Structure 1
């Protein structure tokens, strides 16, 4: 597992200034997205929650091309946990379809996420800062919408997510809710992210996040009975991310999560030959799409798999 690259004090100062600008600036979201990708490429950021407000963020799964049709079908059959934002065809890690998702010509799928995971036969075998030494021309990449995309809207509504206030990574959990099967992905279940809120605030939370259908939309469950229906037994022990702090009167609120494809790969096991890559949970790609593009994305019936 790659170790975190240390930075000089001057570089740290520059990074802090730049990241603060990204976090607070809203005049040019596409520029903010590009700057955030550059920081990721230089290994200067990790958790992307709160970065580049107004930009849509993306989860990642990269598979050998023979499994791309199965995964594409899985996404189309399960658009809430697996909302497709873009596809990177085999042989070219610099091109995304649709082109509006990433407009910068120097984009590199292998470097522009802060951290990556490597899977083999369904097992997480390594974490890496880039994929340059393992990515092959036979791989196909998929970008999927991330709930970090609507967190700035929650903040503006006075509903700032707890993990942003505490500096933790959002909590994520396996559920027992099955996905509609597709090809080798015949036994997959949904993953959810969780943010604590007062029960009286849940309806407002639903209203704020509902328009973000391209990035999971409104919650799939809430409350302690909701956790039970999802098959979550211990809210204090997330499967990914970090446990969250609950204040008096708060309940868990759950959204479908883009780590679902990683669980699907785990459950497929040795049905998938070759290396599979994904983002490190919490470490997303900031795209050039913004909240202003949500209506157009909502009207799309699905992104075609490049031939």
Structure 2
């Protein structure tokens, strides 16, 4: 008996129905996944400039029309109000809720920003034989808030969030080569080695995601992460903002292979 892997559209419908509310790593292999930030229109201009000024952590894939929950450039029949497994709701910069559906919160002045996700380059790493620890352990990738400053834009500012994957030095070098071909999903690492050098006090205690073990002979390798806007939103304190829950992404119809620049 053979089984078929669900398509991106099928996974979105499963999420929309409420049947799946967990991390999306590994779902719909081959397809681009996206981080999310939703803001009122009068905050959207500043946020757009923040993303443009910080392309490593905030590589934009799409921006919705005002009040329109569809993202036609990312896939057919997408509804950003229902198609992310779990959301985060911020009010005045404070996280207040984590719903699985934001239909009742949706407003006619909302603008949705979709930002590239490292899950795309992980597929390229695995295809080249570079192991990815959190996938091996079926965990959410560990994410850390750092002291690396982002470029401020209008009301938005903050420090970079990074995701971490432990690797042998040989695999780290290969990972740098591979991920540098994917600038629209964070590109090459921003740091490797000593976590304290970028303000991470305890590598075993990530602010987001789940910790993974670092074996003897391995070094932690850090990539810019699309959770960075959540720090900027906390700092800017808009009256309302909605993001994805870290690791729970929008699955698009775009193919990862189309993002490579080489």
Q: C-alpha distance in 2, partners of 1:248/1:258?
A: 29
The 3-state SS of whatever aligns with 1:100 is coil
The match for 1:113 is 84
Give the superposition deviation at 1:293. 2.2
Matched, 1:162 2:133: yes
Matched, 1:196 2:169: no
The match for 1:41 is 16
Q: CA RMSD in A?
A: 1.6
The match for 1:249 is 217
Q: C-alpha distance in 2, partners of 1:232/1:143?
A: 27
The match for 2:69 is 93
* Unaligned stretches of 5+ residues in structure 1: 1-16, 23-31, 300-307
What TM-score results when the alignment is normalised by the length of structure 2? Answer: 0.94
Q: C-alpha distance in 2, partners of 1:293/1:111?
A: 26
Q: 1:266 aligns with which of 231, 234, 239?
A: 234
Q: 1:79 aligns with which of 45, 51, 55?
A: 55
Give the superposition deviation at 1:39. 1.8
Q: C-alpha distance in 2, partners of 1:119/1:143?
A: 17
What TM-score results when the alignment is normalised by the length of structure 1? Answer: 0.81
Give the superposition deviation at 1:160. 2.5
The match for 1:205 is 175
Q: 1:59 aligns with which of 11, 15, 35?
A: 35
The match for 1:291 is 256
Give the superposition deviation at 1:37. 1.2
Give the superposition deviation at 1:292. 3.3
Matched, 1:70 2:40: no
Q: C-alpha distance in 2, partners of 1:285/1:109?
A: 8
The match for 1:135 is 106
Give the superposition deviation at 1:147. 0.2
The match for 1:236 is 204
Task: Please say if residues 62 and 73 of structure 2, whose CA atoms lie closer than 8 Å, have aligned partners that are also in contact.
Answer: no
The structure 1 segments of at least 4 consecutive aligned residues displaced by more than 6 Å after TM superposition are none
Q: C-alpha distance in 2, partners of 1:53/1:213?
A: 20
CA-to-aligned-CA distance 1:252-275 (integer Å, 9 cap, x gap): 110000000011111223xx22x2
Q: C-alpha distance in 2, partners of 1:252/1:44?
A: 34
Q: C-alpha distance in 1, partners of 2:215/2:18?
A: 34
Aligned residues: 259
Q: 2:146 aligns with which of 162, 166, 175?
A: 175
